[in-house]
Amino acid sequence: MSALTLKDALNLTAQALSAGRQINASPLTVAVLDAGGYLLALQREDGASLLRPNIAIGKAWGAIALGKGSRLLALDAQQRPAFFAALNGMGQGDVVPAPGGVLIRDDQGTVVGAIGISGDTSDIDEQCAISAVEGLGLRADAGVAV
């Protein structure tokens, strides 16, 4: 696979929302971006709060922009808060350094996109993202083992 398609992105959002329902997660919002950081799909469950789309996109965009899952970005942000504050003024989107943004890699390890989820705790958001990516037979890269 050299690029995510719209069909892939819609399947990822469906898989992620299904994973959330299986564990009775709070209403989720799922964003899928391509390798260039462009939004392919966004779905917000009924009851998800107002800022969830921006947060989900920010988790995925940060992963793509910096080349690592947002769990690792969260650790980096704790060590270098001024750097992360500057990032949000530099990029085309905001970086949200909290678990739930996962790089999507193909079977050769090439990054083909990212998925970001917001709505429950960051750990549950990330769990649903990983489940969705792996459910499509792709490799999820959250940054560090959970």
Section 44-51 average pLDDT: 96
For the cut 70, the answer to whether the pLDDT of residue 1 exceeds it is no
- In this prediction the pTM is 0.93
Residue ranges of the alpha helices (H) in 23-136?
A: 52-66, 70-79, 81-90, 122-135
For the cut 90, the answer to whether the pLDDT of residue 143 exceeds it is no
Tens of pLDDT, residues 120-142: 999 999 999 999 999 999 999 99
- The CATH T-level fold of domain 6-141 is Beta-Lactamase (3.30.450)
For the cut 50, the answer to whether the pLDDT of residue 146 exceeds it is no
